[in-house]
Amino acid sequence: MAGRASRALPQEIDLQLHPELDPVARQLPGTERAISFRQALISVLIDPDPRGHRELIEELQRSGLPMQTLAIQLFAPVAAYLGNLWCTDETDFMQVAVASTRIGMIINHLSQSRSAALSARETERRVLLARTRGAMHTIGVSIVASCFRDMGWAVEGGGELELDDHVYMRLSNGPYDLLGISVGRVDEAPECAQAIRRIHSNRYAGSMKIAVGGPAVKKDPQAFNRIGADIVARSALEVMQLAD
């Protein structure tokens, strides 16, 4: 991942590929070990044989690495790398689709198996995760969900929950401490602003914070600074820092 293509990228994209360059991310426990799995993960994601990713799941489970470290230092940069391959026509849509499905399965498997242990202790904080209609790729939502579970939060919603009446229904049955919205396109900023105004106008909002992130926020964070969100995050790490 440190080849010719990444050196030509601007700094903010380079940090997506190499989050370990961020001093805060560098302090995550097990960073070096998580980084060492990157090439193996890329290989199993694009390998026609599906058995490799099952073996990697077992190896990651044995590693004992915190889910937050795996999410920030392994899954997020590999997902960014695959996205860059598609954008530069180095791979086709079907290969990316298969790889995306596999990485989502790996994240969810590890996250769910660990959340079973976490659920044994009472969780005090709850987060509801949703996406806009334009956020078609939900790996980022899965990564954020895994981080929150690792931090002991009760996580509801996810990549399947679209920002519509179902979200408002969930919120009315709260309370939640945080609503996280993954935004797929910059032109969806007005829709997000309208949704945030509607949420704040209802009593169920309470002291709940609202965070926006996703591909659109990474592309143009300034477009989301005045929509009423409490947190505008360009990465899963920023969400964790600001929400904790």
The domain limits of the chain are 4-118, 126-243
Q: Where are the beta strands (DSSP E) in the chain?
A: 126-131, 154-162, 178-182, 209-213, 231-232
The secondary structure of residue 123, as a DSSP letter, is: P
Domains 4-118 and 126-243 share a fold: no
Q: Going by CATH, does the domain composed of 4-118 fall within 1.10.1240?
A: yes
Bridge-based pairing state of the strands 178-182 and 154-162: unpaired
Cα distances from 117 to residues 34, 108, 111, 162, 222, in angstroms, run: 21, 15, 10, 28, 39
Tens place of pLDDT per residue across the chain (244 aa): 533 333 344 445 577 788 888 888 888 999 999 999 999 999 998 888 878 888 899 999 999 899 989 999 999 899 888 877 766 556 666 777 788 888 888 888 888 776 655 554 555 789 999 999 877 667 888 888 888 888 888 899 988 899 899 999 999 887 899 999 999 899 999 999 999 999 988 876 678 999 999 889 988 999 999 999 999 988 888 877 776 6
> Quick one: 204 exposed, middle or buried, by C-beta within 10 A (0-12, 13-18, 19+)?
middle
Please, how many CA atoms are within 13 Å of residue 38, restricted to the half-sphere of its CB? Answer: 21
| pLDDT at 206 (0 to 100) | 75
93-118 and 38-46 are packed helices; what angle lies between their axes, rounded to 10 degrees? 120
| Distance of alpha carbon 29 from alpha carbon 79, whole angstroms | 21
| Distance of alpha carbon 184 from alpha carbon 181, whole angstroms | 10
CATH topology of domain 126-243: Rossmann fold (3.40.50)
Instruction: Yes or no: say if 107 and 146 are a contact pair by the CB < 8 Å rule.
Output: yes
